[in-house]
Amino acid sequence: MVVYLDSIFLLNSAADAAALYATARLSGLPAAGRRLAAAALLGGTYGALCALPGWGMLSSLPAQACAAAGLVRLAFGRREGFLRRVLLFFLLSCSLAGALMAGARLLRERGGALTGLDWRIFLLAGGGCFLLLSVVFGGGARHSAAGQLRRCRIFRRGREAELTALLDTGCTLTDGLSGAPVLTVHWAALESLWTPEERVVLSRLESEGAARCLERLGGGFRLLPYRAVGVRSGLLLCFKADRAELEGRSLGAVTVALSPTPVSDGGGYAALWGGEEGKEAENYAA
């Protein structure tokens, strides 16, 4: 049997790139081009090694799970919800591999493969994957289907972060100084905006609180009072972004409040925005 390693490498690299990109979009994470490309190429190399004689051990389920974890770690770094992203990437990779194999077999047998298909197993496997994804990522999927998710870019001191925001009409948090709507973001989703010193301090935001962290941070941060169900009076750490964009439309120099915990239980988005969707928000920022 002839094995074309170059074809296997390219096919696996493309499939891993697609699965990683889909994982980023469904998880509300920015798809960093270089890290994603490096992970995809590493995945293509792994797929080529699996095809070599004597390397069959790499095709085992434990080995594939470890490889998936490594690719997710390389593509997205060390973030909360790591296991969920590994599970999502693994399921997407399996789905893409199954689709490619099914497509190749259909082309080879010209539809004859359908006659030998056990539809009970097919429906059971498909239904199981759908149920699992619905339970783990259901919230983000519902909001995505409803058209409530938007790509958001935040700029601060020459740095930029990209993430997914939920248009939440129930989010009424405003800046007490200007009355403008506030963009609420999980602090870890803005990792690319922080200096190393800020990253260390913000990593203690949940355990030590906003006021204690403010004492250790440099200028540009302040406290934002808020009220919520079960919280009579609370404080969030916040900063003024140089500017922010929602699907390419400017929000102006919006105030960004830092949540110490993820704002989405399923990881489908990393920010909440309850203000206007486009340039109307610039009136508040001004």
What is residue 87's predicted lDDT score, i.e. its pLDDT?
A: 80
Residue 88 included in any domain: yes
pLDDT tens across 109-154, in order? 655 555 555 556 555 655 566 555 555 555 444 444 445 788 899 9
- Cβ 183 vs Cβ 173: under 8 Å: no
Instruction: List the domain range (segments joined by +) for residue 16.
Output: 5-117
| 264: CATH | 2.40.70
The Cα 145–Cα 131 span in angstroms is 16
The Cα 68–Cα 74 span in angstroms is 10
Residues 153, 278, single domain; the answer is yes
The Cα 170–Cα 110 span in angstroms is 53
Residue 78 included in any domain: yes
What is residue 99's predicted lDDT score, i.e. its pLDDT?
A: 65
Residues 98, 193, single domain; the answer is no
Residues 27, 106, single domain; the answer is yes
- Cβ 81 vs Cβ 72: under 8 Å: no
What is residue 60's predicted lDDT score, i.e. its pLDDT?
A: 83
Residues 158, 51, single domain; the answer is no
Residues 275, 155, single domain; the answer is yes
What is residue 143's predicted lDDT score, i.e. its pLDDT?
A: 45
Residues 216, 93, single domain; the answer is no
Residues 89, 166, single domain; the answer is no
Total domains present in the chain: 2
What is residue 284's predicted lDDT score, i.e. its pLDDT?
A: 46
Residues 157, 87, single domain; the answer is no
What is residue 242's predicted lDDT score, i.e. its pLDDT?
A: 95
What is residue 91's predicted lDDT score, i.e. its pLDDT?
A: 78
- Residue 246 in 3-state DSSP? strand
- Cβ 251 vs Cβ 285: under 8 Å: yes
Q: In sequence order, what E strands does 148-263 have?
A: 149-156, 159-167, 182-186, 221-228, 231-240, 243-246, 249-252, 255-259
The Cα 66–Cα 68 span in angstroms is 5
Residue 139 included in any domain: no
pLDDT tens across 62-85, in order? 888 888 888 888 887 766 667 777
What is residue 12's predicted lDDT score, i.e. its pLDDT?
A: 82
Residue 9 included in any domain: yes
Residue 134 included in any domain: no
Residue 243 included in any domain: yes
Q: Which residues of the chain have pLDDT under 50?
A: 1-2, 139-146, 279-286
Sheet of strand 149-156: strand arrangement: 221-228, 231-240, 255-259, 182-186, 271-273, 159-167, 149-156, 243-246, 249-252
Percent of the chain with pLDDT over 90: 24
- Cβ 235 vs Cβ 213: under 8 Å: no
What is residue 144's predicted lDDT score, i.e. its pLDDT?
A: 47
